[in-house]
Structure 1
C-alpha cells in the first residue's frame, strides 16, 4: 500500500449515488471491436469473447455504441427498432448473455440512447410520412416550403439551418409536399419532443431496457431535443449557404423540463446504481452545472466538446489548426473549476467521433508509447470520470487511408462530395484536410494480435485494419509490464484505491507554460502532483514548491524519475502527506 493511506474498495453502487466518481468507463464501437462469425463486422459474441480482457484491464462500465436494428446509414445511430438487435450484431439473447457476463465480472453495461432522431425506416416515421393526417404526423418536424417559393426548389427550405452532415437540415417529401427536419443525415429525421406522446414512447422504451438489466444510458446529442418551435432563420456567416449557428436547438427552451421528466418517469424509483450521461455539443460550463447538479435530477455527467474543438481552424474540423497547450489547459481548467462544487466531469481524449488521441495530442511515431502513457496519466488524474475508447489502452493510432474509396463515414463522404463536386476544390487537398480529424481514424478494427486482420476477423473487415497492427496489438501488451495496457491498468487501480483521485480538489499549475501540463490534487492531507510533458523536448519545471522533488513517485512512464524536470513526453505523479486543514 502506498503512503496515500487506506485503500478504498469499490463502493456499492446500488447504495452510493456518486459511485461513478471512482469508476472508469470503456467504450466499445461494436462493428470494430471483435468479429465472431467472419463476416467482417464486429458483433456481440465477439465482445462476449473478450470480456476477460476488459476485466483484466479493470474497467467498471462498458458503454456500447448502438446495436439496435438499423439501416446503418450512420453506423447504427439511425435506429429503425429500439427494442431489437440488428442481425449484423447478433440477437437479443446475445445481448442478454453480454449483460450477464459483464455483471458476473462486476461490470455494468450502458447502452447508447439515440432519441433526438430515428431512422427514416422506423415504423414511427413511416406512419408519420404516410399522410398529413396521420396520427403520428407531429411525432416529427414537418413544415411547408418557405412562403413565395416553389416546394422542392433551392431556397424553399423552411429555414436556413445547416445539417451536421452537409447541406440543409430539410428534406423534401414529394408525396406530401412538405419538408421534414434532420439535423444529421436525411435518413435521420428528428423526433418532435414537443409532443408528449413521443416522450411517453421513449420513456417506455428506456424502462424496457432497464428492466432487461441494462445499467444506464449514454444519451446522444441529448441537448438537441428541445428546438425553438419557431424554427426561425439563424445568422449566416460570410460564404455560408446554410447557417451553422446552433442556437435554435442547442439547450433549447424546454430541455431541462424534458430531462427532469425523463428522470421522474425512468430513473427516480430505480435506485442509485444507474448511469445517465448526456452527450452535449456546444454546451457551456454554466449549462453543465445545471444538467449535472444532483439536486436537479437530470444527468450524472455531460460530454462536452470544447477541448476537442480547439484544433479546428476557422471553426471547422475540415480546416485543421494548431493546438496550443495553454489553450487546452485553460479550457479543461475552466471545466474543473466550474464543476467543483456541483456537478461532475466526463474525462476523455477520444471516442468514436474523434481521431486517435496519441496521433492528435501526442507523438504517434518515435515516442508513441511514452506519449500514450503521458496522455492517459494526465487525463485519468483529473477530477471526473475517465473514458477509455477501445484501442486507446494499446496506443492505437490514426491511419493513412489513401483515396476517398477507403473511407466509410457518412460525414466524410458527404463533405468530400460537397467540397469537390459542389465547390470545385482540389480532391487531393480535400483528402489532406480530412486526414487528421476524420472519424474513420477511430473506427479501424481493434488490433488484437499480429496475425491476419489483426485478429479482428477471419473475413474481410468492413473497414481496413491499420498496417501497424504488427507492432501495436493486445497480444504483445497484456503480459508486458511496461506496456501502454499495463499503464492503463495501474491508473484504473489507483482511481479505485485512492480517494484523492476521485474526490480531491484540483489546482492548475503553470497555466502559461507552452509544453508542461501540471496540477495538484488534494484531499484530507493527501496531495498529488501531476506533471506531463506535451513535447519531444526536455523541459525545466519549477512548480514553486521544492519539496515536491523529494516526494514519493506514485507513477511514471520512465523507469526512473530523478527530479521534477521532464524528459520528452514524460509523465510523473508524485504523492505526499501534508497537514490537513
Structure 2
C-alpha cells in the first residue's frame, strides 16, 4: 500500500469570507464566457448571461467560477488577444456588468477568478500600434528583431525569420513588419509576445492586477504562465513540430527559470490584498517536478495538472500520474490541482472513448486530494463536436494548421467551445433568445440542463451528488490518501471515511467491496461483489 499524507487545511469555503486556504480543496468551474449564456440575442455569450446563470453554479455545488477573458479585444483568438485590459469588450457587456457579476457571485457564496493574459497583447493594443508606428519605447516592450539571410538575387537581407521558432498555432512564430524587422508571436500573428525583461511591462501588469483586485475579484488564472520569459539570445531549436496545446516539450520559449521571479512578485501583490486572493498557473511543464516549481510557498497557489489530463484510461497509467503529481506538489507544500477538460482540448467524454469512462474519470478526479477544475458542460456529459462546418470556425489554429501530425484537434478547438444547451427547446436550447455563434447538435437537447435535472441517472445529477458528498464528507478534499490492493485494471484508494474504486476494464471485476454504496458512475447499482465495467464507485468506510 502507498500512502500520501497531505497537509490538512480548513474546511472547504462556503462563502467568500471563509478561511484563508479555501483554494486547497476548492472545486472551480470554468466559464467560457462566449459560450455560456447569451442575454441579448446576438448569439454570443456575455457577462449579464453569466450573472443570470450563477444560481445554477451555486446549486451545482462549486466553490468558485473562473471566467475566460472578457476584455476589449478584436477576438482574433476568442478574447486571448487583449487590446485593453481594463475594459470589457462591448460585445460581452460593460464594466458595470463585471462589477455586478462579482457582487452576485459573492452573494451566492462563489468566488470569482479572472483570466489574465500577460504573455502577449493584441496587435491592436495601443502599445503595439505605437511600436509599428516607430515608437522605440513601445518597440522595446515586445520582441522585435532583424531577420536573417543575405542579400541575394531573389531576395533582400533579413528576409528570413530571426530563428526557427514555430507558433503553437502552426507556421513561423515571426511576422515581418513593413519596416523590415520581425516580431515574435508564439500564438497568432495578432498576438505579439511581450518582452518581460522590460520593467515597463512589469509595472503595467501590476497596475492591471490591482485594478481588478480593487473591483473585488478573488484571483487570476495566468494564461501561458510558463511562457513569459524566453531563453537569452532566442536560440534556434533545430527541428520542427515544436509546440502544441497542452504540450510537455523542453523549449527555449517555455518553462524558463526566469518566470518564477515574476510569479513571486505577483504572489506578494496578491497577499497585499489579504490571504485569500490566489494565482493559478496555466503552465505546460515537461514533468510533475518542474510543474511543482510554480506552486512553491512564495509563488502561485495552484497550477493546472495537464499530466493527469493527458493520461489514458488505464489503471497503471492513472496511478503513476497521480503518484507523481502528488509527490511533486506535496514536496513543496502545495495541493495538487486536477482537471480533465478545458477550452483548449478535446472534451474528455470523446477523448476517453465513452460517456461511461468520462463519468468514472470525473468521480475519480473528485475523490482525489486537492483542488478540482470543471469545464462548463462536462457535468452534462457533452461530447466534442467534430463536424462543424469550416465556414463557422473561428479558432486561429484551424486556419494555420490543417495538415501534419498536429492536424485534427490542434486545429479544431472550436469543437469544445460550442455553446451550452440549457433547455430542450428553442433556437439555441436556452443559450439565448436567438441562435448561437457555433451550431449546437440537435442531440444536445437531450443533454440540456432541463432534460437532465431530476433524472437520478443523469450525468448532471451524478455531478451534483458528488459535489454534495465532497462537502459533506470531511475526509474529501485536502487530506490523506492511501492506495489499497485491487485486481489488475482496478484502482482502489482510501480517503478518511470513504473508499473509491475505479474499474478501467471493459468487463465487471469481482472484488470485496467495503461498506455501503455512496455513489456510482454506472447506472446499474452493484448488488454483488462485482465492480461494473468502466466505472467508479464511492463506498462508505
Q: Report the TM-score when normalising by structure 2.
A: 0.90
Matched, 1:473 2:448: yes
Residue pair 2:305, 2:338 contacting (<8 A) in 1 also: no
Per-residue displacement from partner, 1:131-163 (whole Å, max 9, x unpaired)? Answer: 1x5222110011101253678889711111111
Matched, 1:539 2:529: no
**Equivalent residue, structure 2, for 1:318:** none
* Distance (Å, rounded) in 2 between the aligned partners of 1:412 and 1:29: 19
Per-residue displacement from partner, 1:35-85 (whole Å, max 9, x unpaired)? Answer: 111111111111111111111111110000000000100000000000000
Matched, 1:385 2:386: no
Residue pair 2:309, 2:339 contacting (<8 A) in 1 also: no
Per-residue displacement from partner, 1:513-571 (whole Å, max 9, x unpaired)? Answer: 4x4333223xxxx3432112334422334xxxx5xx24232222345333552113322
Residue pair 2:499, 2:514 contacting (<8 A) in 1 also: no
| Among candidates 134, 137, 140, match of residue 138 of structure 1 | 140
Matched, 1:507 2:482: yes
Residue pair 1:256, 1:291 contacting (<8 A) in 2 also: yes
* Distance (Å, rounded) in 2 between the aligned partners of 1:152 and 1:72: 34
How much does 1:222 deviate?
A: 0.7
**Equivalent residue, structure 2, for 1:261:** 265
How much does 1:400 deviate?
A: 3.5
**Equivalent residue, structure 2, for 1:357:** 348
**Equivalent residue, structure 2, for 1:213:** 216
**Equivalent residue, structure 2, for 1:315:** none
| Among candidates 395, 418, 429, match of residue 454 of structure 1 | 429
Secondary structure, counterpart of 1:287 in structure 2: helix
Residue pair 1:532, 1:571 contacting (<8 A) in 2 also: yes
* Distance (Å, rounded) in 2 between the aligned partners of 1:247 and 1:298: 22
How much does 1:450 deviate?
A: 1.3
Moved more, 21-30 or 66-75: 21-30
| Among candidates 47, 54, 58, match of residue 57 of structure 2 | 54
Q: Report the TM-score when normalising by structure 1.
A: 0.84
**Equivalent residue, structure 1, for 2:164:** 160
How much does 1:214 deviate?
A: 1.0
Residue pair 2:314, 2:504 contacting (<8 A) in 1 also: no
Residue pair 2:249, 2:285 contacting (<8 A) in 1 also: no
**Equivalent residue, structure 1, for 2:492:** 518
* Distance (Å, rounded) in 2 between the aligned partners of 1:97 and 1:414: 38
* Distance (Å, rounded) in 1 between the aligned partners of 2:147 and 2:115: 34
Change (3 A) 1:86 1:556: same
Aligned pairs for 1:111-260 (under 5 A) are 111-131=114-134, 133-146=135-148, 148=150, 156-174=160-178, 176-236=179-239, 246-260=250-264
How much does 1:402 deviate?
A: 5.2
Aligned pairs for 1:528-567 (under 5 A) are 528-541=498-511, 546=512, 549-557=513-521, 558=523, 560-567=525-532
Secondary structure, counterpart of 1:139 in structure 2: coil
Aligned pairs for 1:69-80 (under 5 A) are 69-80=72-83
Residue pair 2:61, 2:464 contacting (<8 A) in 1 also: yes
**Equivalent residue, structure 1, for 2:281:** 278
In structure 1, the gaps of 5 or more residues are 1-6, 312-322, 577-581
How much does 1:203 deviate?
A: 0.6
Residue pair 2:147, 2:158 contacting (<8 A) in 1 also: no
Residue pair 1:288, 1:302 contacting (<8 A) in 2 also: yes
* Distance (Å, rounded) in 2 between the aligned partners of 1:293 and 1:15: 23
Change (3 A) 1:283 1:13: farther
* Distance (Å, rounded) in 1 between the aligned partners of 2:273 and 2:105: 20
**Equivalent residue, structure 1, for 2:6:** none
**Equivalent residue, structure 2, for 1:445:** 419
Change (3 A) 1:493 1:199: same
Moved more, 248-257 or 217-226: 248-257
Secondary structure, counterpart of 2:57 in structure 1: helix
How much does 1:405 deviate?
A: 2.9
How much does 1:480 deviate?
A: 2.7
* Distance (Å, rounded) in 2 between the aligned partners of 1:204 and 1:436: 34
Matched, 1:464 2:439: yes
How much does 1:288 deviate?
A: 2.7
Matched, 1:489 2:489: no
How much does 1:357 deviate?
A: 1.6
What's the RMSD between the two structures over aligned residues?
2.7
In structure 2, the gaps of 5 or more residues are 1-9
* Distance (Å, rounded) in 1 between the aligned partners of 2:254 and 2:123: 23
Residue pair 1:165, 1:185 contacting (<8 A) in 2 also: yes
Per-residue displacement from partner, 1:310-363 (whole Å, max 9, x unpaired)? Answer: 57xxxxxxxxxxx65533432233102222342222211101111122121251
Change (3 A) 1:437 1:505: farther
Residue pair 1:408, 1:463 contacting (<8 A) in 2 also: no
How much does 1:491 deviate?
A: 1.7
* Distance (Å, rounded) in 2 between the aligned partners of 1:302 and 1:70: 26
